[in-house]
Amino acid sequence: MLLWLFAGPQAAAPPRPQAPPARPQGARPQPQPARAPAPAPADTYFVSTLTPAEIQGKQAVIETNLGTIVLDLLGDAAPNHVAHFITRARAGAYDGTIFHRVIPNGIIQGGDPLSKDPAQSARYGTGGMRELRFERNGEQMSRGAVAATLAPSLPDSGGSQFFICIFDQLPLTGQYTVFARVAEGLNVAQKISQVEADNTVPKERVVMTRVTIRDKPAAAAEPFTTETTEELSRYRAVLETSFGNVTFQFFPDKAPNHVRNFLRLASVGFYDGTAFHRVVKGFVIQGGFLPTRGEPLDITQDRYVRKMAPEFNDIPHDKGIVSLAHGDDPGSGDTSFFIVTARTPVLDGKYTAFGRVVEGMDVVERIEAVPVNGETPTMRVELRKVTLQDKP
């Protein structure tokens, strides 16, 4: 069983879930592990015929029936593995294969050519092996790493099968050839890891309908890094909740980094599907806490979750003020914010006020009035979507 702990619901910065190492397997684990295949003769190993230029700056787009996963192929770290993947993908070798092994929030494994045929299900995990020699590199087996599956105790047994790390599997670093990293769609990979399974065998076919190779596009500029204070002050955030809409204005002259942080997270949909998880009547309502999110984060959303150095200022924590939550360390805040529901001087100078409710205070009051068990609402108060508006 994969276990981890979350901080309590009022904590501002929960630790990321860390699943124990989930070792990929070159054969199905049921009913018994397959006998380790004999090493391949030297002349049967794949050797790239692609030039270095043909494997640099490439992405693989994996379309599945549960969504799309985009991989950055690491041509410098594992050139032969990358060339193998590109060659097989262009030949259609992955089209119609499935993810045949899943460990919830651990790994997903696929690419076995046998998995195109449902009649071969008893042999899934044994095909497409012993085609690649091990390529040692310094790539960490961290969240989003993609590596070649190996037969037990045979480092030179990689091939078409690969696995994706949903969360860090750092103890496996150096034992498998990491040849790609998820650039987009890690949330899709996490969904795949959570499909109902018999032990680790999915009960439904999660199909790679099409795998294509493309040039890696130029990196997009990080949002809300270049706007002036005046430009930032024009933005409004409309929070669509299950109790109605609430609109924020912002104070970039007082807390510019906090304003940029909230706008950036909102622009990539981080807050969509979270909840107001904490209600203290006559004090605050609090939302934006990562574990309340209904869907896993994608790579971009996860990249923008960062600790915020405090920007304490002279804005009093009056009713309607929006401020960033944090733990005992004032620099531990990241995504969770609170709305003050009554004048609270004890918060002044200890939390960074960065916005104010300008419409929908009646909605805030309705949320404040929900029944609670301690400080936890007994019903889910959904933050369905945050929309940004730029006032002319």
DSSP per residue over 103-142, as a string?
Answer: ETTTEEEE--GGGG-GGGGGGTTSSS-S-B----------
Mean pLDDT (the chain) is: 90
pLDDT tens, residue by residue, 339-355:
999 999 999 999 999 99
Residue 163 DSSP SS3 = strand
In the structure, what pLDDT confidence band is assigned to residue 24 with cuts at 50, 70 and 90? low
Residue 18 has pLDDT above 50, yes or no: no
Q: By percentage, how much of the chain surpasses pLDDT 70?
A: 89
pLDDT at residue 39 in the model: 52
- Token pair in block for residue 361: 């205070």
Sign for the pseudo-dihedral over CA of 123, 125, 128, 134: negative
Residue 34 has pLDDT above 90, yes or no: no
Residue 54 has pLDDT above 90, yes or no: yes
In the structure, what pLDDT confidence band is assigned to residue 299 with cuts at 50, 70 and 90? confident
The separation between the first and the last C-alpha atoms of the chain, rounded to the nearest angstrom, is 54
The torsion defined by the Cα of 367, 368, 370 and 371, in degrees rounded to 10, comes to 160
Average pLDDT over residues 221-233: 95
| Alpha-carbon span 103 to 95, nearest angstrom | 22
Which stretch of 26-35, 273-282, 287-296 has the lowest confidence by average pLDDT?
A: 26-35
pLDDT at residue 221 in the model: 87
Residue, of 148 and 296, whose pLDDT is higher: 148
Whether residue 205 contacts residue 100, with contact meaning beta carbons closer than 8 Å, is answered with no
Residue 298 has pLDDT above 90, yes or no: no
Whether residue 169 contacts residue 21, with contact meaning beta carbons closer than 8 Å, is answered with yes
Whether residue 110 contacts residue 208, with contact meaning beta carbons closer than 8 Å, is answered with yes
**What beta strand segments (E) does the chain contain?**
58-64, 67-73, 99-103, 107-110, 145-148, 162-165, 178-184, 197-198, 201-202, 208-215, 235-241, 244-250, 274-280, 284-287, 321-324, 337-340, 353-359, 372-373, 376-377, 382-390
pLDDT at residue 294 in the model: 85
Residue 271 has pLDDT above 70, yes or no: yes
pLDDT at residue 16 in the model: 36
Residue 32 has pLDDT above 70, yes or no: no
In terms of DSSP H, where are the helices of 315-386? Answer: 361-368
pLDDT tens, residue by residue, 104-149:
999 999 999 999 999 999 999 999 999 999 999 999 999 999 999 9
**C-alpha separations of 206 from 91, 273, 370 in Å:** 20, 25, 41
| Alpha-carbon span 302 to 48, nearest angstrom | 34
In terms of DSSP H, where are the helices of 227-379? Answer: 229-233, 256-267, 299-303, 361-368
Nearest residue to 47 (alpha-carbon basis) of 131, 129, 112, 113: 131
pLDDT at residue 20 in the model: 45
pLDDT at residue 150 in the model: 95
pLDDT tens, residue by residue, 64-114:
999 999 999 999 999 999 999 999 999 999 999 999 999 999 999 999 999
Question: How many C-beta atoms lie closer than 10 Å to residue 202's C-beta?
Answer: 18
Average pLDDT over residues 53-57: 96
